[in-house]
Amino acid sequence: MAEIFWTAEAEADFLTLDSKAQQVIRRRVEILKQFPMAGTAMSDRWKGFRKLYARPWWIVYTVPSPNKVIVAYLLHERTDWQRGAYI
């Protein structure tokens, strides 16, 4: 079972969300404990990251080892992935 770590940025973003959004994200992140590769592999400037949808948020994470998942970012679905900016 993988251990989940959060970057300071992802944790700060998580704490700004309402309790319903936090619950949805928390449930999706729990999946990563059993299935770290559950999300879709990303490409281009996001190479090495994976993303898992928790409507309307994308959980962007990396898996540096089979037993470790790092939640790096929480990005709204309206984020421009190429620029990393909110549309």
Task: Write down the residue that tokens 């970012």 correspond to.
Answer: 73
Domain 3-78 has CATH 3.40.640.10: no
The DSSP-derived string for 31-83 is HHHH-TT-SEEP-GGGTT-EEEEETTEEEEEEEEETTEEEEEEEEETTEETTT
Contact 69/63 with Cβ under 8 angstroms? yes
Provide the b/e sequence for 40-51 (b: ≥16 CB within 10 Å): eebeeebeebbb
At residue 72, the pLDDT reads 98
Domain boundaries, the chain: 3-78
pLDDT surpassing 80 at residue 87: no
Give pTM, 2 decimals: 0.90
Q: How confident is the model over 9-65, as pLDDT tens digits?
A: 999 999 999 999 999 999 999 999 999 999 999 998 899 999 999 999 999 999 999
